[in-house]
Structure formats: structure tokens, C-alpha cells
Amino acid sequence: MASVEQRTPANTNGAASDGAITVENPATGEPITTVPVLGAEQLAAMATRARQAQPQWEAIGFDGRARIMRRAQKWMLDNADRVLRTVVEESGKTYEDAQAADFGYTVAALGFWAKEAAKYLSDERVPSWNNPVTVGKKLVIRYAPLGVVGVIGPWNYPITNSFGDCIPALMAGNTVILKPSEVTPLSSLLMAEMMRECGLPEDVFQVATGDGGTGAALISQVDCIMFTGSTRTGQAVMRAAADALIPCYLELGGKDPMIVCSDANIERAANAAAYYSMNNGGQVCISVERCYVEEPVYDEFVARVTDNVRGLRQGQPTAEGTVDVGAVIFPPQLDIVDEHVRDAVSKGAKVLTGGQGRSERGRYFEPTVLVDVDHTMKCMREETFGPTLPIMKISSVEEGVRLANDSPYGLQASVWTSDTERGEAVARRIEAGVVCVNDAQINYTALNLPMGGWKTSGIGTRHGANGIRKYTKTQSLLVTRRALKREPFMFPYTARQTRLLRRFYQLVYGRGTRD
């Protein structure tokens, strides 16, 4: 069967024809509604409207924009049931997963960017005294909005990784067009409704539903593209951004390793391994995707994790607290998970619990623990993106670091030890954009901490100063106030002035040793 990358746009999730996509509930396989597939012409019209709306949105200023974001924050809280239901229905995840990330993240992010945008983007004065030519001048860096920002999002967190990236772009004074995943467009449409109700001017935020072609058409219309999705699509997006010559930020796939040292708190590490590999059905870019455990604690760790995973309830989330692990988003994803488990078993791995998928009513893969795995297996090398946890025994932390780095991905990683100083030292040797010690994933909630991948896991970061500055272009201002009628370096050139200037350079830069 087709892989995620190979699937044909607009045909993965039930019927899709005549420019419409049927959105299904992955937990039941039942259709919810249809949305249109927008094409190049409609995207061009949206971009024109976004371009017209932008100057006024920028002119409203940080306070004006922040007021709308704070209103949106309250709207989300007042409409929590509807927001959660929308996410749960179109993604098949549990209410808890939707609340922890899509809802909780967005409520926090609306407040964070409303408060911090002005600080991150306020004019910066830089010193002028370190160059004789600029002494006494006023030097200023200004962060100006780019214009129209395009955001393309995946399905696994229909709000966090789609609308979530629109918030800083909007706060920076841009207008935004969001292309959500074709399988989870309803949450983004709800966010558009929210922003309208909260007083966002017309065309400042628009949602372009559609397939991969819609995403491609968007790139040619905008001034910057923020993409979250698979590495393969990310490469296509970057090629298109090169053609359009626009900045492009990529948050891509991962294969996050977890290294458990023999001195770790094994109970905590095992609980965390079960949770961070299975939450959101394992469909998290920063899931624990592979685990390396030092020999002395391996047996205890495996027993605890297996016990924990075996007890997880899976099925359709009908209300809060009804299940622990939800559905798999669509058939191609189920195929990948199944293929990784089969491949591992065929090469000698053992399934301790789970191991089977089913798709008669809704799509599910049993929470699965694999042991006796190695790096010849897909489950240790390729992104699985499902409820599986392969655990490998290691003879030393050194070996763990080597195996952790034996990957094309470099999104996140975690190290578990009671010696946090040593843990930090190990973390610094792992090739990943984020490494947690005795934790995982929750760094995503620290909105002032950059998050982004190394290697094929991405380019650029979200959160922190760069998370909003990337949606701006810098303008440097040099202002000369009190000035001579003629600068010493201006025409006409004279030997005396040239010698004087040279002496000046000597004075400023010539001191100090020359070793």
C-alpha cells in the first residue's frame, strides 16, 4: 500500500471528487462533511485580498493586534467543548490529547504572543562607537512585517501546528493564509470563525482548504512559507520556495531517541516512555520513537513499560476519560506502522504487547512494545508515527549516544539519569535541535524556548525571538544628526587626511598583543 508520501492528494480519507474532500472521523470511519479543494485562481484571489488588508492590519499596532488575540484566547476558553469536539472528531485523538496540545497550547500561545510580540520586535539600538566612520550616528534595527505569510500544516495537531504558527505571523503585522491538511481542515475553519467573531478585520486570516496542489499554489502567492509536515514534502516546499525566492521555514519529521542510563529513576522513565511514545496515538513529531536502555536496568524497564502499555484502553473517544489511545489518522499511516512492525518481526524482533492493526470500523493499531530490535530495522531508522515503542539494550551510554546519532533525523531526544550534570553533558553530544533530561515533549510548551530540527528534521525554529522575527524583514536605519559639512573621508582626497584616518584606525584597532 502507499506510504504517506506516495498517497495521492485528496483521495486518502474516503470519497473525494469534483474539487471536494470528504472529511472523515478516523475513530469511526464515518464522513463528517466535505470541504472544497481550492485551486490556483482562488489562491491568487485570496492573496490579493490578503495583500490589500495587510497595511491596515500593520497600522493597528501591537496593542490593537494583542487585544484581538486576547479576545480569541477567551473565545477558546468559552467554546472549549466545541473546539475539543472538532479536533477529536476529525483526528480521532482522545479529548485529553486534544486538550493537552491543540487546546492548551493555543490558549497559551495567544496570550504569549499578545504579550511578547512587541518586546521581540521593538526597534533595537546598536552601538556605533566601534567603527570610526559611524561614531556618533544613530543605528537602529527595525523588524518590518513580510506582507502575506503562507502556513501549511499537518494533520497530527490540527490547531497547534497550523493555526499555532499563524499567531506570531499575525502579531508581527502580516496577513496569513493557512492551508491545513486535507484530512483535518475543520479545526482551522473553526479558528477562522473564532478570529472573525473576535474582531479580526476581513481577509487578515484566511483558510485555504484543499490538497497538496493547493499547498503548492499557495507558495507561489506569498512572501514567506512556514511548513510543518514530512521531510519529503518539506523538500518539495523548499524547492518551490526557491523558485519563488521567498523565505521558507521547515518543521519536519523525527525519530526521537530516549536514552535510559542505569542510574535513572526507572519508574519515572518507564511511565514517561509509555506516555511519550503512545500519546496522540504516537502521532507526534516529537514522540519517543526508539528507546535505548543500559543493560543493568533493561529488564526492569521493559517489564514496567510493557505492563503500562498493555493496560492502555484504545477506541473511539466518546467523552473525556473514555480511552487512552485514539485512532490512526488514515489508511496509509496504518500501513506504515504495520510495515514497520512486520519488518522488525521478520528480522528477529519480539512483540511483547500489541502488534496488530484493524480498520473495519475506524482505524487503529494496538499500542505495541517491541524488543530485540536493531538498526537494520525500519522501526529504528524511519519515522513510524504510530503507537509503537521499540526498546534496545545497550552496553553503555556511549553506545546510546552513537545509536541516537545514527539517524538522518535530529528533531528531539531525551536522556534519563539521576545525575543531571552528566545528563546535560550527554544531551550536548546528541545531534538534535532539542534534548530534554528526565523529560520529553514538554519543551514545546515553553514558548520562549526555540524548537526546531537539525539534519533532515527542519530548517529554522518556532517559539522564542526567532519564532516571530522569522516573519519579518529587518530594516537597518542609520541616522546622522549633528554632522560636519564634509566627512574626512570625502572628496577631495588628500595625503594628510588619508594619514590621519590611518592613525585613527591604529588608535582604535592597533592596541593589544600580536601573538
In this chain, which of 24, 89, 97, 182 binds ligand NDP, going by CB under 6 A?
182
The torsion angle over the Cα atoms of residues 109, 273, 81 and 451, rounded to 10 degrees, is 20
Does position 435 bind ligand NDP by CB under 6 A?
A: no
If the CB atoms of residues 203 and 383 are measured against ligand NDP, the closer one turns out to be: 383
Contact 293, 415 (CB under 8 A): no
288: enclosing H helix or E strand: strand 288-294
In this chain, which of 26, 111, 168, 229 binds ligand NDP, going by CB under 6 A?
229
* Closest-CA residue to 26 (of 332, 256, 291, 422): 332
Least Å distance, CB 252 to ligand NDP, is 5
Q: How far apart are CA 148 and CA 173, in angstroms?
A: 9
Provide the grid cell at 215. Answer: 499547498
Of residues 380 through 409, those in contact with ligand NDP by CB under 6 A are: 383, 385
If the CB atoms of residues 275 and 454 are measured against ligand NDP, the closer one turns out to be: 454
Does position 336 bind ligand NDP by CB under 6 A?
A: no
* Residue 484: partners with Cβ closer than 8 Å, 6 or more residues away: none
Least Å distance, CB 184 to ligand NDP, is 8
Three-class secondary structure of residue 208 per DSSP: coil
Of residues 265 through 324, those in contact with ligand NDP by CB under 6 A are: 285
Query: Among 77-85, 174-182, 263-271, 309-317, which window interacts with ligand NDP (CB under 6 A)?
Result: 174-182
Q: How many CA atoms lie within 13 A of 369 on its CB side?
A: 22
Residue nearest ligand NDP (C-beta atom)? 215
Q: Which residues pair with 455 in a beta bridge?
A: 409
If the CB atoms of residues 50 and 270 are measured against ligand NDP, the closer one turns out to be: 50
320 labelled catalytic: no
Residue type for 43, please?
Answer: L
251 labelled catalytic: yes
Of residues 195 through 224, those in contact with ligand NDP by CB under 6 A are: 211-212, 215-216
Strand pairing report for 412-416 and 368-371: unpaired
In this chain, which of 90, 102, 223, 251 binds ligand NDP, going by CB under 6 A?
251
If the CB atoms of residues 107 and 411 are measured against ligand NDP, the closer one turns out to be: 411
If the CB atoms of residues 423 and 452 are measured against ligand NDP, the closer one turns out to be: 452
Least Å distance, CB 18 to ligand NDP, is 16
If the CB atoms of residues 4 and 266 are measured against ligand NDP, the closer one turns out to be: 4
CA of residue 102 relative to chain centroid, distance: 12
Does position 109 bind ligand NDP by CB under 6 A?
A: no
Does position 470 bind ligand NDP by CB under 6 A?
A: no
If the CB atoms of residues 148 and 352 are measured against ligand NDP, the closer one turns out to be: 148
Sequence length of the chain is 515
Three-class secondary structure of residue 445 per DSSP: helix
User: What angle do helix axes 164-171 and 61-78 make, rounded to 10 degrees?
Assistant: 150
Other CB atoms within a 10 A radius of the CB of residue 69 amount to 22
Catalytic residue among 166, 198, 248, 285: 285
Provide the grid cell at 288. Answer: 519517543
Does position 332 bind ligand NDP by CB under 6 A?
A: no
By CB under 6 A, the count of residues binding ligand NDP is 31
* Residue 152: partners with Cβ closer than 8 Å, 6 or more residues away: 178, 179, 215, 218, 225, 226, 227, 228, 229, 237
* Residue 7: partners with Cβ closer than 8 Å, 6 or more residues away: 332
Q: How far apart are CA 148 and CA 170, in angstroms?
A: 9
Query: Among 167-175, 178-186, 398-406, 498-506, which window interacts with ligand NDP (CB under 6 A)?
Result: 178-186
If the CB atoms of residues 252 and 288 are measured against ligand NDP, the closer one turns out to be: 252
Least Å distance, CB 12 to ligand NDP, is 8
In this chain, which of 107, 114, 152, 341 binds ligand NDP, going by CB under 6 A?
152
Least Å distance, CB 261 to ligand NDP, is 26
Catalytic residue among 89, 251, 366, 382: 251
Strand ranges inside 94-161, DSSP E: 124-126, 138-145, 148-152
Query: Among 101-109, 110-118, 146-154, 295-303, which window interacts with ligand NDP (CB under 6 A)?
Result: 146-154
DSSP state of 209: -
Q: How far apart are CA 134 and CA 131, in angstroms?
A: 6
The residues assigned a catalytic role are 251, 285
Residue ranges binding ligand NDP (CB under 6 A): 4, 9, 152-156, 161, 179, 181-182, 211-212, 215-216, 228-230, 233, 236-237, 251-254, 285, 383, 385, 411, 453, 458
